[in-house]
Amino acid sequence: MNETLSAIISAAQATSVWEVIAFAFGIAYLLLAIRQNPLCWYAGFINTGILAWLFWDASLVMESALNVYYLLIAIYGWWAWRHGNSEATQDLPIQRWRLPQHLIAAVTIVGLTLISGSLLAANTEAAVPFLDSFTTWGAVITTWMVTRKVLENWLYWQLFNSCAIFLYWQAELYLIALQMAIYLGLAVVGWFKWKKDYEQQLN
């Protein structure tokens, strides 16, 4: 336990100002998303812009590329929440996916995980290629769900954030694991808040 605490303290001391700013905007993104506030996409854009640069500077090319995707999806998400409804005068409402849509999402995530996990295992020294791939592709699909205000996105995030906590803890990235734990808690809050809002839409 003392070794873990020491590692956390050391990681905190090594954390840059840009990482702190990115973390703050990441939390702001989730809090605003829970409230269905389109400003969440501004916070998300700043958060992922900083992370894309930090990961690139650290030679983490795949993580940097993922955050470039998040940058683009933040722009689309803002547009979709404001103009993606069939009724042009209304913001996009919360919606639910039917079972076939969830099955397509699951098959897509598993399929891409097997492909990229196999490639990473065969061509790199990745420690946990399949878990890393699973959380990455899960995040890609789930972020798309957020742009369409799919209620179940919060359940998906609970699964992938739980896996990410284990992934980062195993990699001894304790501060990032803590961040994922906070995200997990906010995903639970988001589920109940959006579920309540969805039920009010039906009345």
**Of 122, 186, 191, 185, whose CA–CA distance to 153 is shortest?**
191
Average pLDDT (11-15) is: 57
Q: Which residue has the higher pLDDT, 121 or 4?
A: 121
Kindly state whether residues 115 and 73 are assigned to the same domain.
Answer: no
**How confident is the model at residue 180, as a pLDDT?**
85
**How confident is the model at residue 126, as a pLDDT?**
74
Q: How far apart are CA 50 and CA 149, in angstroms?
A: 25
Look at residue 47 and tell me whether its pLDDT is greater than 70: yes
Q: How far apart are CA 91 and CA 23, in angstroms?
A: 28
For the stretch 75-117, pLDDT in tens is: 999 999 988 765 555 678 999 999 999 999 999 999 999 998 8
Q: How far apart are CA 179 and CA 161, in angstroms?
A: 10
Kindly state whether residues 19 and 62 are assigned to the same domain.
Answer: yes
pLDDT band at residue 133 under the 50/70/90 scheme: confident
- Please identify, among 85, 107, 136, the residue that sits at the C-terminal boundary of a domain: 85
For the stretch 22-44, pLDDT in tens is: 888 989 999 999 999 999 999 99
In a domain, 45, yes or no: yes
User: Which structural domain, as residue segments, surrounds residue 57?
Assistant: 1-85
What crossing angle do the helices spanning 40-57 and 17-34 adopt, rounded to 10°? Answer: 150
Kindly state whether residues 114 and 171 are assigned to the same domain.
Answer: yes
To the nearest whole percent, how much of the chain has pLDDT over 70?
85
Kindly state whether residues 172 and 100 are assigned to the same domain.
Answer: yes
Look at residue 151 and tell me whether its pLDDT is greater than 90: yes
For the chain, the domain total comes to: 2
**How confident is the model at residue 144, as a pLDDT?**
95
In a domain, 193, yes or no: no
**How confident is the model at residue 54, as a pLDDT?**
76
Q: Of 88-102, 113-127, 150-164, which one has max mean pLDDT?
A: 150-164
